[in-house]
Amino acid sequence: MKPLVLPSPARARIAVRGRSARLAQVARLGGLALSASLLLGACSKPADAPAPAAPTSTYAAVARGKVDIEGGLLTLSMPREGTLAKVAVHEGDHVKQGQLLAALDTEPATLAIDAAQAQLEQAQAQLKLLAVKQAAAKQRAQRLTAAVAAGAGDGQSADDAREAAAQIDAEQETDRASVSMANQKLAEARYELKQRSLIAPFDADVVEVSAQPGATVSPSSGPLFTLLPIKPRIVRAELNESFIGVIQPGMHAEVSANNDAINNHWSAHVLRIGSVYGPATLENDPQVRANSRTVECVLAFDQPDSDQTRNLRIGQRVLVRFAPVDTTKSPASKD
């Protein structure tokens, strides 16, 4: 039987398929060899090779904070009701302690002072008149008593004279009380006049003015002035509850503005740590803010009188990085 002779194109296709199969087998064998060499290389590393060290934080804690002063901003209202006659300062002014901020119409208080002054003068004049009457009554009583002793006078007249002198003494005591009361009313009227003027309690910058002449104001109408006292700046940081046991008073910290620890940063130290938990009001993420509990940590700047520190604005948000405690240093030995 003669062998089947295929046409020339068919033989070419069979030859190509055979070469493809051999190439695929060689590729599989090469991949296995490469994998084995990699495994052998890994096994050949020393067993005691150190693992890469985990990155360590350079800060004991990080917290968000804001710039403030002790006591905060001061809001002032007029202590008495009335019509504003004068507003002496404007926003942005610097005021000294005792400087006038605003004044009410002083006419009612001035009239009250004049009335109290007149009442005092009347009581003082009455007291002087009683003093003259008392001297005359005592002299008459002494003369009548001497006449009775000499047998030349009436005993009843001497008794009446002594009684009249005693009565004037009582009236004089009453008038002294009237003088004292008139003095008290005059002092009260002068005090009320002072209460119609609003005075700066200390050196401060005027932040806001909500007053104008002619307006009717009262203590319940709200603050008229907001003052920024000239005091050293502090930082109120919100310390997360997980760091409460780590941070202690006196620890060093670095305060930076806008998360910039390179260009704008200030050295500070911890003054005190609060004892009351509160929400994280400075956190930007609402979910984190709702689930976080923080404690207030107050820090003071190491250079509070520097120009950069004084120029920090109240309410400015900052980032506080607390320096870690160096546990490698051993305490100094005592001699």
pLDDT at residue number 64 = 93
- The Cα 167–Cα 140 span in angstroms is 14
With a cut of 60, say whether residue 47 has pLDDT above it: no
With a cut of 50, say whether residue 35 has pLDDT above it: no
Listed range (57-71, 130-144, 198-212, 256-270) with the worst mean pLDDT: 130-144
Question: In whole numbers, what is the pLDDT of the chain averaged over residues?
Answer: 79
Q: What is the pTM of this model?
A: 0.64
Using pLDDT thresholds of 50, 70 and 90, give the confidence band for residue 62: very high
Considering only residues 100 and 331, tell me which one the structure prediction assigns the higher pLDDT.
100
Residues whose CB is less than 8 angstroms from the CB of residue 322 and which lie 6 or more positions away in sequence, other chains included: 59, 60, 61, 62, 63, 243, 246, 247, 251, 252, 253, 270
- The Cα 151–Cα 142 span in angstroms is 14
For residue 240, give the nearest of 66, 67, 61 by alpha carbon: 61
- The Cα 304–Cα 70 span in angstroms is 13
With a cut of 60, say whether residue 34 has pLDDT above it: no
- The Cα 273–Cα 240 span in angstroms is 11
Report which listed range, 3-17, 63-77, 252-266, is most confident: 63-77
Using pLDDT thresholds of 50, 70 and 90, give the confidence band for residue 133: confident
Please check whether residue 153 is in contact with residue 147, taking contact to mean a CB–CB distance below 8 angstroms.
yes
Listed range (30-44, 277-291, 301-315) with the worst mean pLDDT: 30-44
**Token code pair at residue 89:** 């300062």
- List, as one string, the DSSP characters of 124-158: HHHHHHHHHHHHHHHHHHHHHHHHHHHTSS-HHHH
Q: Give the ranges where the chain is alpha helix by DSSP (H).
A: 8-43, 107-150, 155-195, 286-291, 307-310
